[in-house]
Structure 1
Amino acid sequence: MNRSKTIEVSSQPKSLKEEIKLTMKLGWPIIVSNLTQILLPIIDGIMVGSIHSNQLAAASLVVNIVTIPVILCMGLPMALSPLVSAALGKSDFDSPAKLLFNGIIVSGLLSLCLALIFYFGRDLIFHLGQDKEIAEIAQGYFVIIGWRLIPLSLFVVFVQFASGLGLTKFVMILSFIKVPINIFLNYILIFGHFGMPALELLGAGYGTFLTQIITFLVFVVVFLRSQVFDKYRNNLKEALQIRISIMRKIVKIGLPTGLLIALESGAFAFSGIMAGWIGAQQQAAHQIGLYISSLTLMVPLGICAAGTIRIGFNFGKKDWEAINSIGRTTLFLAILVSISFSLFLFFGNEFISRLFISELEVVQLAKMVLLMVAVFQISDAIQTTSSGILRGIQDVKVPAYLSLIAFWIIGIPSAYLFSFQLNWGVSGLWMGLVIGLTSNAILLTSRFFTKVKKESKMELASV
């Protein structure tokens, strides 16, 4: 069997309908995988929020502090999917396993270093101007999250490797098993069942940590034994060698990718810390908004990942006409989905708020926050998708600078202005985020189409 057939992106659609169908065929399993991944902290939030809003506020504080390190651990391996798909576009079938092994080394070292920083820097929690009771609850959870980075980042390496091969349904199945495992372990450890003590927020941390370890080990066993990966284990002895050149390539693409995503997520996280300056109830409501915005983002992010893989394959072939077509279709699909989410959040904000918390004052604040989340859905989908399709053509450095401008020079100062100078409270924080997302959407989309147009002209000139 021709190994290039293992990747769906090799097909050449003849119409817009076929283009959309191909992207969604590759993308919907990634969407499900993304949803299962983001559900883990949301499950933590829902389960500890049922105890008291202080537990949810403490979870919020930790999630906001660790956002940038977590995103770096998840962003670095994201170099693998475009590199693997580009290798297949060049009919290079030996490189994927080499990329996988060296990706494990790079990501493992990064996550271990960050885990040690979390452990020795755990007193940072008490120096962020937060409520003392919230900080005390949060400290142990903070340390556990640090150790959780190791199995999480290694699992993402395998996910990106398999996605680059076009095996997105396979990734979906393995990712999906996380949810029931996590719920079961959280139920035991948070509330104290089957003879275990009720650990509350600490229990949520341990439950999700164990879930990450189990699913990573399952992925390793499947890679070593499944027939799906047989053809990529043919030269396994040669692949299991440290190659500095491959590591550099992964870091060159993965580090700016992680930084780009971290700049956005970090802006959201810092806004969560600012929410804590206003009060614990506002912080809890703000965290509900962060949970939901992260959840809705997973759909356009999955569409974008499919676009990244398909564009990466055509980038290996230097087919700029196909790259342009895929980019436009991917953006169109992401916008369509984001409009539906906006409508859902606009009409369902109270129902969603009550899923997390029963305290009336927090519910009212959360309803207002979710209306702001509804407003920025389109901008968020566009800027996320543009970032992904740029990654497909391995353009990551300039987009990182553009995101720095959009979120930290425009967005966060605007959030501070509206929230604290104009006294808009937690709504002001979200207004600043809307401005930052919209700015980034304009900058990154312009960057993609300008670069594609330039490369297309150069290709025609060379012919």
Structure 2
Amino acid sequence: MIETNTLLAKYKQLFILFIPILITQVAMYAMNFFDTTMSGHFSKQDLAGVAIGSSLWFPISTGFGTVLQALTPITAQLMGAKKEKDISFILIQGFYVAFSIAAIIIIVGDLLLKPILHMMQLDPYVEIVAKHYLWALAIGIIPLFIYNVCRSFIDALGMTKISMIITLLSLPLNILLNYLFIFGNFGFPRLGGAGAGFATGITYWIIMMIAICVIHNMKPFSQLYIFRAFYRVSLVKWKEIFSLGVPMGLSTFFEASIFSVVTLFMSKFGTNTIAAHQAAMNFESLLYMLPLSISIAMTITVGYEVGAKRYKDARAYSHIGIFIAILFATVTGMLLFIYRNSVASIYSEDPRVIALTSHFLLYAIFFQWSDAIQAPVQGALRGYKDVHITTIMTFISYWIIGLPLGFMLDAITALGPFAYWIGLISGLGVGAITLFSRLFHIQRKKAINRKKASLA
């Protein structure tokens, strides 16, 4: 990260961070994409099973993973304030937190998985696939969370290309392992959807080990001596991480879990609808990588400028990020409208699933504009370390407005499964408006305080 003094330099800086982050996010999500599509080509029941398993795992992995992303604004602000010596200590505490969270998830998940799946009253084969997929994926939970800490540190230093390279190296291996474990090629066991879980879990171990080696041996990370001293557990630093990370994680969990809950509601409409809904949601989530990547880049840039007390520059980065995200949303929405049938055929060869997926993708177009505002705004707010009120806003938008509206429309109209998508779109829209209002308030408050300080 460097200080920028012109608007053009800020655009350049943001894109230098954004492009590698986007490639990294797409590559990480591509693991789930290939899990889903390759399982779908094994059978539509396996596609449905992986869809259910992913719906249970996604809010947990993203919610708790976002808690660990608290290391990004913390480290970015330390770098902006020229306090590099404090970074090693806070990062090691992040590793301790990551291991602890992962261990708890594994224990609790083992206890609750069977009752949850049984309660959903799924087709017996679909339930078995979902259960085995999650059991297999569990081997990679600890390394995934440790990698999240490594990546937060790497990105906070502005070295987003490193995260990109690590992830790109692992993606072909993940595809190969899917090919071997799902379909049983070259003498490997033919596991179907469960094989996708094994493939992804093994891949998480590999990216964790690569990231640790990079941090230990490559400049500028090695100059911070991350692994060259032993640090005891510091509950004070854990409190700092959790006080920022828990609201961040809850915001992400509220958003991710509502999509998962909607997927569970889809179970009453049959296997074809579950498969089509998951396929459309999978592609929509792939498109979401654009505003999400801008959001992460804005957390880094805004956090760096706030740490250096350059609030005018932080505000400029916020406006640039939102503008770029809206521009991308307009383009991707138009392309999705034109090519939605082609996209649907990627996920399945079943004509009924393709037709339903194409219909769902029409609604996915409207997700683009809401995401283009709410995701970058959340990233900017995290750069300011303003996360508590936004958590409440997110909960109200998705769970008090979005989900009940979808449930009501399903009850009183003939929209069927599409009623829930309308509810989601409405919740996202309300979230975008309220979060933008909060960002405006924070920036105005910083500007007033800065003016008072200069007059004092």
Of 51, 62, 72, which residue of structure 2 is paired with 1:81?
A: 72
Distance 2:284 2:5 in 1: 33
Gaps of 5+ in 1: 1-7
Distance 1:82 1:193 in 2: 44
Of 19, 24, 29, which residue of structure 1 is paired with 2:20?
A: 29
Is contact 1:118–1:146 with CA below 8 Å preserved after alignment? no
Corresponding residue of 1:357: 348
Of 233, 241, 244, which residue of structure 2 is paired with 1:253?
A: 244
Give the deviation of 1:282 after TM superposition.
0.7
Indicate yes or no: 2:314 matched with 1:323.
yes
Of 218, 229, 240, which residue of structure 2 is paired with 1:226?
A: 218
Q: For residues 432-460 of structure 1, what are the alpha-carbon distances to aligned partners after superposition, in whole Å with 9 as ceiling and x for unaligned?
A: 11101000000101100111101210221
In the alignment, residue 318 of structure 1 is paired with which amino acid? K
Of 373, 378, 392, which residue of structure 2 is paired with 1:401?
A: 392
Give the deviation of 1:95 after TM superposition.
1.8
Corresponding residue of 1:91: 82
Of 119, 126, 130, which residue of structure 1 is paired with 2:122?
A: 130
Q: For residues 3-38 of structure 1, what are the alpha-carbon distances to aligned partners after superposition, in whole Å with 9 as ceiling and x for unaligned?
A: xxxxx2x321312x3322221111110111111111
Corresponding residue of 2:439: 448
Indicate yes or no: 2:183 matched with 1:191.
yes
Distance 1:324 1:366 in 2: 40
Of 227, 230, 237, which residue of structure 1 is paired with 2:229?
A: 237
Is contact 1:303–1:334 with CA below 8 Å preserved after alignment? yes
Corresponding residue of 2:323: 332
Is contact 2:276–2:357 with CA below 8 Å preserved after alignment? yes
Corresponding residue of 2:200: 208
Corresponding residue of 2:403: 412
Of 126, 138, 143, which residue of structure 1 is paired with 2:135?
A: 143
Of 101, 106, 112, which residue of structure 2 is paired with 1:115?
A: 106
Describe how 1:157-176 pairs up with structure 2 within 5 A: 157-176=149-168
Corresponding residue of 1:267: 258
Describe how 1:36-115 pairs up with structure 2 within 5 A: 36-115=27-106
Indicate yes or no: 2:428 matched with 1:430.
no
Give the deviation of 1:218 after TM superposition.
1.3
Deviates more, 1:59-68 or 1:403-412: 59-68
Distance 2:204 2:410 in 1: 37
In the alignment, residue 215 of structure 2 is paired with which amino acid? F
Distance 2:108 2:13 in 1: 43
Q: For residues 69-106 of structure 1, what are the alpha-carbon distances to aligned partners after superposition, in whole Å with 9 as ceiling and x for unaligned?
A: 11123111110111111001111011222121111110
Distance 2:241 2:226 in 1: 22
Give the deviation of 1:423 after TM superposition.
2.3
Give the deviation of 1:227 after TM superposition.
3.3
Indicate yes or no: 2:171 matched with 1:179.
yes
The verdict on how the C-alpha distance between 1:19 and 1:224 changes in structure 2, with shifts beyond 3 A counting, is: closer
Is contact 1:144–1:209 with CA below 8 Å preserved after alignment? yes
Is contact 2:49–2:130 with CA below 8 Å preserved after alignment? yes
Distance 2:182 2:136 in 1: 14
User: Normalized against structure 2, the TM-score is what?
Assistant: 0.97
Q: For residues 155-176 of structure 1, what are the alpha-carbon distances to aligned partners after superposition, in whole Å with 9 as ceiling and x for unaligned?
A: 1110001001111111110111
Is contact 1:118–1:143 with CA below 8 Å preserved after alignment? no
Is contact 2:300–2:383 with CA below 8 Å preserved after alignment? yes
Corresponding residue of 1:278: 269
Indicate yes or no: 2:145 matched with 1:156.
no
SS at the partner of 1:227? coil
Distance 1:234 1:142 in 2: 33
Of 316, 333, 339, which residue of structure 2 is paired with 1:348?
A: 339
Corresponding residue of 1:217: 209
Is contact 1:349–1:367 with CA below 8 Å preserved after alignment? yes
Give the deviation of 1:132 after TM superposition.
2.9
Deviates more, 1:284-293 or 1:132-141: 132-141
Is contact 2:410–2:419 with CA below 8 Å preserved after alignment? yes
The verdict on how the C-alpha distance between 1:418 and 1:148 changes in structure 2, with shifts beyond 3 A counting, is: farther
Over aligned residues, Cα RMSD in angstroms?
A: 1.4
Distance 1:413 1:438 in 2: 15
Report the identity percentage: 26
Is contact 2:263–2:277 with CA below 8 Å preserved after alignment? yes
Give the deviation of 1:269 after TM superposition.
0.8
Distance 1:324 1:87 in 2: 19
Deviates more, 1:67-76 or 1:307-316: 67-76
Give the deviation of 1:235 after TM superposition.
8.3
Give the deviation of 1:138 after TM superposition.
1.4
Distance 1:376 1:221 in 2: 39
SS at the partner of 1:50? helix
Is contact 2:341–2:358 with CA below 8 Å preserved after alignment? yes
Q: For residues 16-63 of structure 1, what are the alpha-carbon distances to aligned partners after superposition, in whole Å with 9 as ceiling and x for unaligned?
A: x33222211111101111111111111001111001111111111111
Distance 1:291 1:129 in 2: 23
Distance 1:14 1:69 in 2: 40
SS at the partner of 2:69? helix
Corresponding residue of 2:289: 298
User: Normalized against structure 1, the TM-score is what?
Assistant: 0.95
